[in-house]
Structure 1
Amino acid sequence: MRADDIARYLQDHPQFFEDYHDLLAQLYVPHPHGGRTISITERQILTLREKAKALELKLTELLRFGEDNDLISTRVHALSVALLTAGSFDALMNVLREQLAEAFAVPQLALRLWNSVLTRDSDVFAPVEERIRVFANDAKHPYCGPVNDLGVVAWFGDAAPSVQSIALIPLRRESRIVGLLALGSDDPARFVSDMGTLYLERIGELLGASLIRELG
């Protein structure tokens, strides 16, 4: 008889140990963390403790994620209020830079807009290569990861050589892409491909709506 057969038999016949209850007191198994043997009851208690510890660690992790999300949500709300109260395009850009640098620890920021009714004397309205526009139009979600070959990193100017990871957030006017927000960091792990993009999308929506108000 194989071990699998024994295990299956015990699972299918739970009354076995009721019929042979004295056997439980005579069975000993190896201790999971040592060479000695312990009773089955002790082994079950150890297993339950290990499961309880694993659940406790998981709960702690979930609570930490919840606290992190609450903090990010609060910062996004503060950003939205600041954007809404900015009285001009220049004030809006200053608010955006300050909030992202201070509240979100994003050291580098660049923005490009196209198809705007109004323009300003700013790099924000500098010509954008067609391949970048195509990328923004085709993107379903913000791009997060290492510096890619689009050439967007050049938007960061003198800081470009130090940028190791980027986030690219398309900006929309209704269903139409009208610009791209680029965030950069010298930390290669700051923006990674498997990170959540929900809050980045919300920042893009907030900025897009604020820009429409100022520029049409």
Structure 2
Amino acid sequence: MSENVAFELADTDAEVDNEQTPSAEAVLAYLRGHPDLFLDHPEILDHIELPGPPQPVVSLHHWQLRRWRGQALRHRHALNQLHQVAAENAEADRLLHRFCEGLLNATDRSPATLEKQMQADFEIDTSRVVRLADLDGETRKLLAGWLDNPTPFCGRPHDTVRESLFSDALPQTGSVALIAVPPRESGPTRHIVAMGRRLPDGFNPAQGTHFLEQIGELAGAFLEQGPSDRERH
């Protein structure tokens, strides 16, 4: 579709809307002919701004109603936010369930399998699962402070860390989520799960990390369960 056609369609839609919009006189005539409209449909009042008394007269009744209406609007906004959070949590649970199923059905419990599963289930551009011992000394030094308290990191990494983990698979403007995979038993971190998005704010410091922590726990169980454990089950 060309740009001109798009504008033509937009103009056509606007003309249709204008033709379907009644005039003020038509609305007033309808209300005069249906005086019980607001009694039959009180929900309409939720979307109408009623005028107050002329200044400087103040009606306490009108002021009270405005306060109640403001509170109702704030409560509705808060409820809509809760619904949005619930929907996002439900989607996260669905993705995590699918990810878990993929890991359970995998026949090869290797970092490469884990990388493929993450890219199949999550909206990311690239992923890496590396052993901490396989990273060069400079990269381990840059990650040392984070590994002392390894809450998942979200944001723009140091260029050395980005190049060490992703090589050319992630541009300098990309963003990452780094997860220190917890070992099954107490001990130091052995693996790092890294997910990358090409968008600068694809992973950002403001987002929650609980979902990433769950991915790290599943990744740790997947990597540390050897073939003998699988055969016993």
* Residue deviations 1:18-77 (CA, integer Å, cap 9, x gap): xxxxxxxxxxxxx99889445221121111111101110110111110110111012112
Deviation at 1:211, TM superposition (A): 0.5
Contact residue 113 and residue 179 of structure 1 kept, 8 A: yes
How many angstroms apart in 1 are the aligned matches of 2:84 and 2:174? 27
* Mapped contact 1:163–1:185 kept (Cα < 8 A): no
The one-letter amino acid of 1:88's match is: D
Question: Which ranges of structure 1 fall in alignment gaps of 5 or more residues?
Answer: 1-30, 116-125
Per-residue deviation, 1:81: 1.9
Q: Secondary structure at the match of 2:205?
A: coil
| Residue aligning to 2:177 | 167
Between 1 and 2, higher relative CO (CA 8 Å, sep ≥ 6) is seen in 1
What is residue 29 of structure 2 aligned with on the other side? Answer: none
Q: Give, in whole Å, the separation in 2 of the partners of 1:36 and 1:103.
A: 61
Scaled by the length of structure 2, what TM-score is found?
0.65
Q: Give aligned-pair identity as a percent.
A: 27
Q: Deviations over 1:116-163 (max 9, x none)?
A: xxxxxxxxxx444331562453133111112235x2211212223255
Shift in CA distance, 135/82, structure 1 to aligned 2, threshold 3 Å: farther
Higher strand fraction: Structure 1 or Structure 2?
A: 1
Map 1:201-216 onto structure 2 (within 5 A).
Answer: 201-214=213-226
Distance (whole Å) between structure 1 residues aligned to residue 53 and residue 158 of structure 2: 54
CA contact (8 A) 2:179 2:192 kept: yes
Match of 1:153 among 162, 170, 174: 162
Letter in 2 for 1:165: S
- How many residues are matched? 173
RMSD: 2.8
What residue in structure 1 maps to residue 85 of structure 2? Answer: 65
Name 1:109's counterpart in structure 2.
127
> 2:152 aligns to what?
142
The amino acid of 2:78's aligned partner reads K
The TM-score with structure 1 as length reference comes to 0.69
Unaligned stretches of 5+ in structure 2?
1-48, 229-233
